[in-house]
Structure 1
């Protein structure tokens, strides 16, 4: 356990903004605990029926892993292989739910490029006719790639600048976005411009749906969000050829936005749809409280 936790710390320290790495380490630690407990004779049924009080108080209890079990290694490897199969099918599982949320003649808005959202919209387009408006997500303009991919599937697609989000929102039926990370309080760390989109959707009472697999669910809270801040070269915003202006100003180019949970209507994951308020329960099912901090 200590070896895996140490390796997890080393990998997450290399790129703190990539929370998925730490999440997978936590999933593996949870698998080891479950398999050890099963061999140790602990009832799986009693684990599933944990009360809220037990979930809140279980953190910090020391567990004894000193007993050697010859089948533990094989069981853990088998469980990890099952996890890999689950991860490979996450996008398909999310896309299969598309027809429950997208109806004919609706106007859908999204921002930037998300592989999960792309699969979600393409699956819906097989049986439904609808229009998609894509905010370009400047300065990286990944929305252009999204629009090209959707238009190849004969989905009516329009690209617009981020500045026009609020003006267009009044005629949008649903906002469907992807995300980089889901935090423990149900908030998002998503591409820059997503907060603007979410605020506009809230103002017009437009449902905001987030398509994200469960491995993006992180036990970190927004008060630790310094690790999520990522700034890149502002070359796309203000080229270095504008040397005279650059000498007089400071330009910041953030990659991610923080989106609070009250702006989100629904999370669609590979295990179904859930409200932001239910995230705490999903967290307890995915990770052990002792592993929240690697």
Structure 2
């Protein structure tokens, strides 16, 4: 299968929801990008960046709420290019300094610092059209490191569970998140605590999570979503997962998370979100509807009730948007961070040029 055919097949799978789930989507996307970088013909970093951006647009059109790993790969390409050309820049700079060495010795430390400050503020945009040897090898190595991180992110998150879960606590969660499940199971090996699981209608993922925790010896209570507010006063903290973390620190989370976060906010109960950094996206949720997927309404109200269905409009959204003030802490694979720190993580992981992926 050629690279073009691989891309078309992957886009088709995204449209049909055959590839779904934040970690699975990010991992498959990173592997596809590695194939594209390895097999595509590109002469410099500029042409590769343009090619990746065009591919990113296709992927976003196929699945608008898919986990966005492409900006991180673009940041990797830009960073490896800058690092590779840094030595050449140093040589050019040293040659220029040698020609004016007698003038440089007369400069004071303060003047030199001011000169460097002004130089940094007037640095032109990086020219990515210059050829750089071994750039492909460096980029592929970096993408492999991203893939390794995606494969081990659940284990890394679970290792931090004892820092956030203490003995005799009462924890509430909703539905079933694989990251949250492994997080709780890891803590249960050394701590005794109770978990209240909201069933997460209409998918009822909470039933599966409750069964998994009970099998591991965790004291578990399964409740309906309607009982969340009534029991929140007894809860020490809420731990949930999410599909994506937006640029303002908000969450695109499974349906029902806004309900539990709102109840926690009313009772001043801290809300901890277990999420790998690959879920961080530079997108701002200006229109929440564009980030949602509407599922089959039959799971909410059966088509057998034909008379009733003809009188009501039934919406079955897959996701909720949870504003950043409702979140107390993000537990990531690099440690815990408050929502206000998201902007710093964005600057470290993405370039400003890649905040929007339109071509």
TM-score over 0.5 for the pair: yes
For 1:183 and 1:70, how far apart are their aligned partners in 2? 36
* Pair member with larger Rg: 2
Question: SS at the partner of 2:308?
Answer: helix
Tell me which residue corresponds to 2:98.
none
1:166 aligns with 2:217: no
1:5 aligns with 2:53: yes
Q: TM-score, normalised by structure 2?
A: 0.75
Q: 2:71 aligns with which of 26, 29, 36?
A: 26
Tell me which residue corresponds to 1:85.
148
Tell me which residue corresponds to 2:217.
154
For 2:152 and 2:300, how far apart are their aligned partners in 1? 37
Tell me which residue corresponds to 2:292.
229
For 2:125 and 2:305, how far apart are their aligned partners in 1? 60
Runs of 4+ in 1 over 4 A off after TM superposition: none
For 2:352 and 2:324, how far apart are their aligned partners in 1? 22
1:252 aligns with 2:315: yes
1:177 aligns with 2:240: yes
1:35 aligns with 2:80: yes
RCO higher in 1 or 2 (8 Å CA, sep ≥ 6)?
Answer: 1
Tell me which residue corresponds to 2:201.
138
For 2:52 and 2:291, how far apart are their aligned partners in 1? 23
Aligned residue pairs: how many? 278
Q: 1:16 aligns with which of 42, 52, 64?
A: 64
Question: SS at the partner of 2:220?
Answer: strand
For 2:282 and 2:210, how far apart are their aligned partners in 1? 33
For 2:134 and 2:287, how far apart are their aligned partners in 1? 39
Q: How many Å apart are 1:224 and its aligned residue?
A: 4.0
Q: How many Å apart are 1:123 and its aligned residue?
A: 0.7
For 1:25 and 1:72, how far apart are their aligned partners in 2? 18
Q: Deviation string for 1:258-294 (max 9, x for gaps)? A: 1111011100000000000000000010110100111
Q: How many Å apart are 1:199 and its aligned residue?
A: 1.0
1:291 aligns with 2:354: yes
Q: How many Å apart are 1:182 and its aligned residue?
A: 0.4
Counterparts of residues 46-61 of structure 1 (less than 5 Å): none
1:102 aligns with 2:162: no
Q: How many Å apart are 1:62 and its aligned residue?
A: 4.2
Q: How many Å apart are 1:250 and its aligned residue?
A: 1.1
For 2:130 and 2:352, how far apart are their aligned partners in 1? 22
Quick check: which one's helix share is greater? 2
Q: How many Å apart are 1:121 and its aligned residue?
A: 0.3
For 2:251 and 2:263, how far apart are their aligned partners in 1? 16
Q: How many Å apart are 1:227 and its aligned residue?
A: 2.1
For 1:156 and 1:83, how far apart are their aligned partners in 2? 36
Question: SS at the partner of 1:169?
Answer: helix
Question: SS at the partner of 1:268?
Answer: strand
Q: 2:265 aligns with which of 161, 177, 202?
A: 202
Aligned-residue RMSD, C-alpha: 1.8
Question: SS at the partner of 2:239?
Answer: strand
Tell me which residue corresponds to 2:336.
273
Tell me which residue corresponds to 2:104.
none
For 2:348 and 2:215, how far apart are their aligned partners in 1? 39
For 1:79 and 1:255, how far apart are their aligned partners in 2? 33
